Amino acid sequence: MIRRLFSATLAAFLTVNVQAAFTFTPKENNKVGLYLGGEIWQSEASGVFGEKNTLIDFNLKKEQQINYFIAVVHPFPLLPNVRISSSILETTGKTNLTQEFSFSGETFSIDDDINANFNVNYIDYTFYYELFDNGLFLFDLGLTARDFNGAVTVKGPAVIDYGDGNCNDPDPPPEITCPSPSSSTTPTGKIKTDDIEPMLYVATSVNLPLKRLSVFAQGDFSLINNHSLYDYKVGLSYGLINSRMLNFNMTLGYRVVKIQFEDLNNLYTNLEFKGVFVGVITHF
């Protein structure tokens, strides 16, 4: 069913744009435009992750993330525009276990203090068409290949080996004199998040009556597989510089990223990152 939906979406997408190629006017001055942009995003993480039978809330911290993109827009209607963006989702957390927890072959015991490092980055390769642009309202539609990279790591308390069986006991007999530790290991479980996810890309903006001010929205939404993903933002853009050679805009908005992996290398997540961002966009 999901694959049929993806095929139907792709067919409709291509059909609409082939028809649009013969009706839309070329972009202003028939020039190729280059867009460069970046954002600082104050993301607050919430949710759980782990393996199939046990998902844990690690109390993930609020972190500043950095995102940036490059896009090429051209006047050739049959060819899609191209946008490449990079996003970082990196945070840490800690919890005290109230149940036994296994992660990537490591087992952690009840009452262990365990630390998590969630470091999942992705690059979006987006091919889209500008379906409508009358100078006041803009609407884009396309397809994104989201290339995930990174890993999720869980570490438990250090295990100290004294080289003496009695001393390795958590509560050794009082008559035993324990030597200095001979070694120490930290139980660690790590799952890589390498994956490519096809997503639907939509974007729109509306110029407001106030000069140089516009409101915009942009999002990517998963189409197939068992994973449930979405990534959208809404905000305001203000043009600080507007000339024939260069446009420079400041942006302010709110972004939400949902990552719900179902058995990605035995990783299960139900996490949401959300918060305010500020950014800049330059158009040559």
Question: How far does CA 22 lie from the centroid of its chain?
Answer: 36
Counted domains in the chain: 1
> Rg (Cα) of the chain, in Å, rounded?
25
- How far from 55 is each of 24, 40, 117, 146, 157, CA to CA, in Å? 50, 30, 15, 25, 19
Of 88, 91, 110, give the one whose Cα is nearest residue 46.
91
Q: How do the pLDDT tens digits run along the chain, 284 residues long?
A: 434 444 444 444 444 443 443 333 344 456 789 999 999 999 999 999 999 989 999 999 999 999 999 999 998 888 999 999 999 999 999 999 999 999 999 999 999 999 999 999 999 999 999 998 887 899 999 999 999 999 999 999 987 765 555 565 556 566 565 655 555 688 999 999 999 999 999 999 999 988 889 999 999 999 887 789 999 999 999 999 888 788 999 999 999 999 999 999 999 999 999 999 999 999 98
What is the reported pLDDT for 172?
Answer: 56
CA distances for 48 relative to 87, 91, 174, angstroms = 21, 13, 42
Instruction: Check residue 15 and give its pLDDT.
Output: 43
53: CB partners within 8 A, 6+ apart: none
Q: What is the pTM of this model?
A: 0.82
Residue 277 structural domain? 2-283
Domain at 151, CATH number: 2.40.128
